[in-house]
Amino acid sequence: MPASAHHQRVLIYAASGARLEALKEALVGIGMRGLRAEASIEGSLQEARPDGAIVDASVSPASALALCRELLKATSNDLPILLILAAGDTCTLSHARSLGVREFAEHPSTPEVLALRFQGLLRAETAIELPETDRRTADAGGRDGLTGLSNRPSFLEGMDAVIARARAAGHMAALLYLDIDRFKAVNDALGHAAGDVLLQHVARILEDQVRATDLVHAGGSVMLSDASRLGGDEFTVLLSKVSQPEHAGDVARRILLAMRDPIFADGYQLAATASIGIAIFPQDGHDPETLLRCADLAMYAAKAEGRGRYRFYRPSMGALHHRRLEVEQHLRGALERNELAVHYQPRVDLGADEICAVEALVRWHSPALGEVQPREFIPIAEESGLIVSIGDWVLETACHQLHRWREEGLEALRLSVNISSRQFASCDVLRTVTDILRRTRVEPHALELEVTERLMLGADEGTALALRDLRGIGVTIALDDFGTGYSSLSSITRYPLDVLKIDRSIAAEVEADPAAESIVSAIVTLARSLGLGVVAEGVDAPGQAHVLMRLGCEELQGFLVTPALDADALAAFCRDWRGIAECTGPDATSDIG
């Protein structure tokens, strides 16, 4: 690759002429030259002899991917490419990764940022280049310079050969796709030297396992395996013959086991884990690209299920992935298209036998997908960052509504709103909340924010301070879904809280399961000693209500009272309220204790 930065040439495939010009200008700013990618790849490459390419896949991903494939093919995978993706387009991301693209940026990014990212990519590529002589042997041997494993081109070649042989002989082959968990964090925190040691360590583990596999299974069930590093922290193990898919699972299990030993890298002791996805030829695919994509999807599933594990590819992973993308795509813009609404579920104060508060719950009716449940779209909104604007909108809409209700005579009604951890992480919550309260003329003490234990567990100083500040202005804080596995007593005492909301899974079991009953009674005791209120949520049967009241829960929320209602129906419900006995049967109030 030509070296001098002043002459570095960058092929650009942009979504519009304007974006092309902006990028060119930004590249000039760092001493590079941008060239428009021609329709003919051959022509582009021969004339331009580029050092790399910036390809915008945010508008038409399919043609951008086709271009990447051609560019990589024509250069034997030797062209660094920065791919620009529409935010959240994980489908194109995983496809591009399977082609060999290793650097990505989200649209919209400023041209300056893109240019700098690209410069970083070129630096990284040249940094791992070996001295000229070594490089030649490395290339000749199809080896990865850092780890000595097969590199991507030789992996792809090997895979073609393995598939051809398996097809001819009529046996199965397996592809294991391994990705180190949180590798970027290690690299960023401990530096590239430590990152390199970790990569080399993983490579040795794979080599050992491959060798062991060949020895143990020389009798015929598994043979002729090979380990490769595709780039970054992605590795593959190719098992050229397996008599049962489970044998590939055995290999994966041994790799994960070997990774448990601590590693000493650059003066640090690391405990790294990895996630592995497995695809089987021929059941999951007949060509390298498909198998890689399947193994990649399975690897993502392993990560989603908690990392440090392996998963076989299942067609449902593709469908789930597809549904996720579909939901995300339609959720983008749902706010602007007025597809969201807020419904309100009342909370009953058992002592006063009154509706004391309502919880705001977002609802989404998508013209394309129909009614989508918050349990499905809220996690997607959180992952894609959309939750910040949705959450602000819910807060503002619900506060407006509360103000209206209070003017209409429901003066004592309070409001509780769910706040996601992303809202804490990405913006100034205190500012947002005070602004909204001021605009909607709602007093702070009428508002409660519901946060989850997960927020508390991952909480940093900033979150604790934000919670404290919010409480400082009079807003109360409730810990939602309490008692569901993440329970950490220290987080309850460490962070400022006012209310514990007992998760609905506990309410559901409290009638039948004595263990659930003792959990509730422990929570009530704990809450009392810390001076916190206790709300039972998800109460949907009279029997549950009786037990919860007897155990000392102060407030109750659930289908037994009513599901969430729209604003008008909620106001009517409050006016017609005749007491909890209407819901639980006549003997319930005597249970309050």
**Does 448 engage in binding with Mg ion (CB under 5 A)?**
no
Please report which helix (H) or strand (E) contains residue 270, including its range: strand 268-270
Which of 27, 37, 378, 436 binds ligand C2E (CB under 6 A)? It is 378
Q: How far is the CB of 199 from ligand C2E (least distance, A)?
A: 38
**Does 584 engage in binding with ligand C2E (CB under 6 A)?**
no
| 378, interface contact from Mg ion, ligand C2E, none, CB < 5-8 Å by kind | ligand C2E
Please report which helix (H) or strand (E) contains residue 263, including its range: strand 263-265
DSSP string, 291-356: HHHHHHHHHHHHHHTTSS-EEE--HHHHHHHHHHHHHHHHHTTTTTTT-EEEEEEEEEETTTTEEE
Which of 418, 420, 491, 557 binds Mg ion (CB under 5 A)? It is 418
By C-alpha distance, which of 91, 87, 84 is closest to 325?
91
Q: What is the crossing angle of helices 542-550 and 514-530, to 10°?
A: 50
Q: How far is the CB of 360 from Mg ion (least distance, A)?
A: 9
Q: For residue 109, give Cα distances in angstroms to 84, 104, 183.
A: 9, 11, 24
Task: Report the relative pairing of strands 52-56 and 33-36 from DSSP bridges.
Answer: unpaired
Query: 266: helix, coil or strand?
Result: coil
**Does 374 engage in binding with ligand C2E (CB under 6 A)?**
yes
Please report which helix (H) or strand (E) contains residue 242, including its range: strand 234-242
**Does 50 engage in binding with ligand C2E (CB under 6 A)?**
no
Q: CA-to-CA distance for 501 and 274, rounded, in angstroms?
A: 35
**Does 545 engage in binding with ligand C2E (CB under 6 A)?**
no
Q: How far is the CB of 389 from ligand C2E (least distance, A)?
A: 11
Query: 19: helix, coil or strand?
Result: helix
Q: What residue spans of 83-177 are helical by DSSP H?
A: 90-99, 111-127, 132-141, 152-169
Q: How far is the CB of 393 from Mg ion (least distance, A)?
A: 17
Count Cβ atoms below 10 Å from residue 107 Cβ, excluding itself. 16
Using CB under 5 A, which of the segments 107-115, 167-175, 279-287, 413-421 binds Mg ion?
413-421
**Does 453 engage in binding with Mg ion (CB under 5 A)?**
no
Which of 450, 517, 554, 555 binds Mg ion (CB under 5 A)? It is 450
Which of 481, 517, 554, 555 binds Mg ion (CB under 5 A)? It is 481
Q: Which is nearer to Mg ion, 256 or 381 (CB)?
A: 381
Which of 449, 564, 570, 571 binds ligand C2E (CB under 6 A)? It is 564
Q: How far is the CB of 287 from ligand C2E (least distance, A)?
A: 41
By C-alpha distance, which of 254, 263, 287, 283 is closest to 178?
254
Q: Which residues contact 4 (CB under 8 A, 6 or more apart)?
A: none
**Does 346 engage in binding with ligand C2E (CB under 6 A)?**
no
Q: Which is nearer to Mg ion, 233 or 450 (CB)?
A: 450
Q: Which is nearer to ligand C2E, 221 or 432 (CB)?
A: 432
Which of 103, 284, 480, 554 binds ligand C2E (CB under 6 A)? It is 480
Residues that bind Mg ion (CB under 5 A): 418, 450, 480-481
Binding stretches for ligand C2E (CB under 6 A): 345, 360-362, 373-375, 378, 387, 391, 394, 418, 420, 450, 480-481, 504, 537-540, 558-559, 563-564
